[in-house]
Structure formats: structure tokens, C-alpha cells
Structure 1
Amino acid sequence: MKITIKEIAIDAGVSISTVSRVISDSSKISESTKEKVRESIKKLNYKPNIMARGLVKKKSGVLGVIMPEEAIKLFSSPFFIEIMQGISLKAKERDYYIMYDFCKNEKEEYESTKKLVESGFVDGICLMSTRKEDKSIEFLKELKFPFVIIGEPENKDGVLWVDNDNLKATYEAVKKILFPSIKRLEKSKIFFVGGDKKLTMTNNRIDGFQSASNELGLESEIFLGNDFSREEGYRLAKEIFKLENPKNFIISEDNLLKGFLEYLEEKKNYDVNIVSFNKTNLKESWREKVYLVDIKPEKLGIEAVDILIDYIEDKSENSSRVVNIEL
């Protein structure tokens, strides 16, 4: 038989409304009564219904996570998987549930955000990416609905967000990792290989790349794909290697890297220096040629959930956290 709050009330010798107030941790109930009710809950192994608890608390205890187009394409990459792991672990720790919504394009992300907010099922929203003129962000800001972004927004006013310092990380990757190798080679030109330029992350990494290249006096060139897929990595490699034997690369994401390396393997070209972001499994033949920068995606997910729940529960004004990367 499924235990309800009626059975708890009878066992504890209190009213049903008192049990409800104990479950919602009302300050109007004495500690002795709370203890008595909690003992009955434990003895009868009662599991509060999440929707009923939401009605009492006027909160659902659920966070909505909007998974973007890139996440579907990148499930062969550890990036989004590790972010989801961080989100889920921290939500569980703080007694929240997660509702993931997978979207195929920018328009679907906006529609999903709207539906989740209007449904009343979620207390807050986590957006997994940010673009220029992002409609989802403007919608949430206008409603003053709690949300957090994993990614640095174009306009930070009134926005909770968490991100790596992508500009600094790319700048230091060029200076500290790639440049020492370049000095030993005849070829000093450096290439940036990236994905969708509508994404803030791509633009920040380009800025870091250009800043370091200019400071070091390196000739540089930028190649951008339509997305972050392996196919685009392969296509961009084919395009770049029409040039005269390029050697030095910053590659913005590990699926692009995989496609890039596929092309090089076909051509049996291992004479390159590459820095890429995220963690991925490399063949033995590439381990000395490719330096992988760990951008700590799990930590991004953990920090995002902490920021959002702090705001929902305490209206905390701590609006951003930057996860620093040690190179």
C-alpha cells in the first residue's frame, strides 16, 4: 500500500495540515512536533510526492536544462556529458531534480524555454550556451524568471552566468604552449580552427588567439566551420592544407580536432603542432603532437547549479563565476 500523509498524520497523532507544514519545514510548527512527524515518516518509509511538495512550498524542486543544437552533435565529445554530470551531481546534493530538454536549433531552444517557464514545472532554467541577440535570454530577463547561463553572455546586466575565461585560456595557450614550439621551426604562421561564430565562446577564443599572435608578431589566419562536428573538422583541414605545408594550430573543440586528425592521417602528415580544448582520447601517434587543455566542464555544471539555486532560495546577487584553467 502506498503511504500518504493521511497515514503519517494518524501515526504521529497530528492533523494532515501539520504533516504538510512539517514537510515544507514551516517555522510555525514546533521542533518537538516536527521531530514526532519525521519519526513517523521514517518508520513508514514515506516518500513525498514531488508535485505535492511543490504545491505546498510553491516550488517544484525541479530545474530545467536547455540542451542546445551543439549538444546533440557533440555527444561523441565528453564536454556536454561532463557538464550534465556536474549539473546532476550538484542538483542531487541540493535536493533538486533536473529536467533536460534537447533542442535541434536556436528556434526550438526558445520555444522549449517558453514552454518550460509557462508550464510551472520548473523553478529555474539553465541555458547551456549563449549567442548574440539570444531570444531565450531576453525572454527570461523580461519575465524576471530565475536562470543561469553556462557561457559568457553578450550583455551581462541582470544575468547569472558561469564560464571559463576563454579569451585568457587561448591567449596563454598560444604564448605558453604553441609559441615555444614555433620558435624551433621555420614555419611561424599560426592557424585558428573554430566553429559557429554566433557563439560567444568562439568569439572569445578568437580574441585571445589574435591578441597573442599580434603580441608575438606571428602571422595568423582564422578558419571557421558551420558547427563543431567531426565532418567540419575534416573539411577545414582539407581547405587549410591547400596552403603551403602549415604546421601550427589552435583547434577550438575536440570533435573538430578528431575530424582534423582524420584528414592528416589520410595524408600521413604528422609534422604539426596542435593545441585543442576539452579532453579526448588520442591515438599514440598524436600524443606528442597535440596538447589538450582541460576546460573542466563538470565544474562548470556544478557552479551553474549552485548559482541558480542560491538565487532561487536566497535571491543571491552573486551573478557570475569564472572557472580558471591552469596551463
Structure 2
Amino acid sequence: MAVTIKDVGKVANVSPSTVSRVLANHPKISEATKRKVREAMEKLGYHPNLQARSLVVKSTNTIGIVMPNSAELALENPFFPEVLRGISLKARESHYGIYLTTGASADEIYQEVVQMVQGKRVDGIILLYSKTNDYIMDYLLKEQFPFTVIGRPFINAERITHVDNDNIYITKQITDYLLQLGHTRIAFVGANMEMVYTIDRLQGLQQSLEQAGVSFDECLVIYDAQLKNRMKEQFSKLLQDPHPPTAIVAADDFVAIELISYAEDLNIAVPDDISIVGFNNIIIGKYIKPSLTTVEINIYQLGVEAAKYLLELLKEDDFLPRRITVPAKMIERKSCCRKIQ
């Protein structure tokens, strides 16, 4: 005979309604009561019927995760497995599962989001990116569906709870660092102006140059679209400029590592001939030669905070939108040096 919440309540010496609240991780139930109920569940071998429960309480106990492109491509980038690790931790603590989008195009992902919302497949959604003209974000706002964003929303930021680094500030810091090493011709490689973090990082670089009295040269910005299967060609072209850069800020560590590889092919010494900085502090950056100077953006913590505040939003009717800033810091290694005069 199947174990019921009444059986659990008897063993834990609480009412069946208290057991239900523990299953829902209700904030007004004490940790001591939650522990007592969970011990009774374990002792009796009780496993809640989540599907039946979701019909009663109109909750799926599932968080939707929206990737910026197909899951297959996104998960090749170490950022996404790490941010998902942080989200999963908080979800698991509150007995939530996660539901990943798998669409291969923006339109397919949008349709998946509509199905999540209209089909009541998830209780809330986390967008793992923020970009300009995002009709998924617009749709979620229009539907007043609970969601949080990793990244600064391009518009309506005051209406949306979002978790981000201060990308302007940290890029200003690393540009100041390169200026202190004597570099004034500083390129930005891999800019994707659809992504808000890229817009902010480019702005940080420009602010640093302006405050140092160094003119910003648009020719030293190489956009993501220009790099598609042509990074070596674009890098070579950049170095052939009459006034080539002596330092590069790369959009992420992947781009930076690829540039270091191509520099070796082109007999360009890093950092003696050109200094390179990346973002995200992926593990391989520590072990390449030269080891990569980068920015630690605390990817895992971005995921933890995005899930934490989504879960709070789901519990509190009067939850106010907020911005959560996760600290970032430069990690100095061997890929930068003082400019040789």
C-alpha cells in the first residue's frame, strides 16, 4: 500500500497540511519542522507524486532555462555548464527541476518559450543572456510571467530582476592596466553588439582611453561577425595596420586563446610583441603558454543569484525588481607585459 502524506504526518507528529507545505518549501515552516518531516519521508520511503501535486497547487516545481542559441552550441562554451551548475544548486535546494530550451534558431527558442508559458510547463524562467531587441524578453514582460536575466537588460532594466557584473567598470580597469604598461593602441576583438555585455565592455574601454587622453580608433574594433571562420585572416590584417595595436582586449577567453595560437603561427610573440587579455577565466587559460591574463566574472555565482531571486519572486507577491551585481576581478598572468619602446 502506497505511503501517503497522512502517514508521514503521523510519524513526524505534524498535520498533513504541514507536510504539504514542507514539500512546497514554504518559507513560514521552520527548518526544524522541515527536517523532521523529511526524516519521516525518508524513513517511510515516501516519494511525492509531483505531477498530481502540480495539478492541485498549480505549480510545476520546474524552472525554464533559455539559452542564447541551440543547447548543443551553447554547451560547448564553458560559461553555460558553469552557470547551469549554479542554477541547479539553488533549484535542488528548493526541490525544483530545470527545463532547457533546445531550439536551433531564435524563432524555435521563442516558440519553446511560448509553449513553456502557455502550457504552464514551468513556474518561472531564467534567461542566460541579455541582448538588444529581444522579443523573448518582451514577450515575458507582456505576459507578466516570472523571470530573471543574467546580464543587463538593454531596455526596461528597472522592471526586470537581473544579475550581472559591472562590465563597464571591470573593462575600464583592465584597459587602465594596459595603459599603465605603456599600451595606447588597444584593440577590442570579438565584439557582438547584439549582446549587452559586449556593448558595456566596449564602453568601459572607451571611457578608460578618454580619461587617459588617448583617442579611440574604431578601426581597432573587430566584430564577431567578421571573425566567422576568418579569425586568423582578421588578426593578420589588424597587425598589418600602419599603426598596429600592441594590446588586445578579447571578448572572451576562447577568442583570446585562439589569438595566442594564431600569433605563434604568424611569428608574433605574446606578450613581447602583443599583450592579450580575455574574460571568463576558463580553466585552460591557466595552462596555455603564456598563461592568459583574464577577468574572473564568477560564472557559478551568477547562476546561483539568478535562481535565488527567481525563487524569491515566485514566493513573494510584492517582490520588487532588483539588480544584483556579482563582483569581477582581473587575474594577472603572463600574456601581458610592458610595451617595448
Q: Which residue of structure 2 aligns with residue 84 of structure 1?
A: 84
Contact 2:70 2:103 in 1 (8 A): no
* Cα distance between partner residues in 2 of 1:233 and 1:168: 27
Contact 2:115 2:121 in 1 (8 A): no
Q: Which residue of structure 1 aligns with residue 236 of structure 2?
A: 238
* Cα distance between partner residues in 2 of 1:303 and 1:153: 16
Q: Which residue of structure 1 aligns with residue 197 of structure 2?
A: 201
Contact 1:22 1:37 in 2 (8 A): yes
Contact 2:280 2:295 in 1 (8 A): yes
Contact 2:278 2:294 in 1 (8 A): yes
| Residues 145-184 of structure 1 deviation map (CA, whole Å, 9 limit, x = unaligned) | 0001111001213211111111111111101x2112226x
- 1:292 maps to a residue whose letter is T
Shift in Å at residue 11 of structure 1? 8.3
Q: How many pairs were matched up?
A: 310
Task: State how 1:1-327 maps to structure 2 within 5 Å.
Answer: 3-5=2-4, 9=6, 19=16, 22-25=19-22, 41-69=41-69, 72-155=72-155, 156-175=157-176, 177-182=177-182, 188-219=184-215, 220=217, 221-226=220-225, 231=229, 233-244=231-242, 245-270=244-269, 271-280=273-282, 281-282=284-285, 283-287=287-291, 290-315=292-317, 316-327=319-330
* Cα distance between partner residues in 2 of 1:162 and 1:62: 20
Q: How has the CA–CA distance of structure 1 residues 234 and 80 changed in structure 2, closer, same or farther, with 3 Å as cutoff?
A: farther
| Residues 304-325 of structure 1 deviation map (CA, whole Å, 9 limit, x = unaligned) | 0011110000132142201122
Q: How has the CA–CA distance of structure 1 residues 227 and 42 changed in structure 2, closer, same or farther, with 3 Å as cutoff?
A: farther
Shift in Å at residue 284 of structure 1? 4.6
- 1:159 maps to a residue whose letter is I
| Residues 266-310 of structure 1 deviation map (CA, whole Å, 9 limit, x = unaligned) | 1121121111101131355322xx411111111100000011110
Of 50-59 and 132-141, deviating more is 50-59
* Cα distance between partner residues in 1 of 2:254 and 2:93: 31
* Cα distance between partner residues in 2 of 1:235 and 1:71: 29
* Cα distance between partner residues in 2 of 1:263 and 1:158: 44
* Cα distance between partner residues in 2 of 1:325 and 1:38: 38
| SS, match of residue 102 in structure 1 | coil
Contact 1:278 1:294 in 2 (8 A): yes
* TM-score, length basis structure 1: 0.84
| SS, match of residue 84 in structure 1 | helix
- State the identity as a percent: 28
| Residues 185-213 of structure 1 deviation map (CA, whole Å, 9 limit, x = unaligned) | xxx31111123211111111111111111
Shift in Å at residue 218 of structure 1? 2.6
Contact 2:130 2:152 in 1 (8 A): yes
Gaps of 5+ in 2: 331-341
* Cα distance between partner residues in 1 of 2:19 and 2:125: 28
Shift in Å at residue 257 of structure 1? 1.6
RMSD over aligned Cα, in angstroms? 3.1
| SS, match of residue 277 in structure 1 | coil
Gaps of 5+ in 1: none
- 1:267 maps to a residue whose letter is L
* Cα distance between partner residues in 2 of 1:35 and 1:207: 50
* Cα distance between partner residues in 2 of 1:166 and 1:106: 25
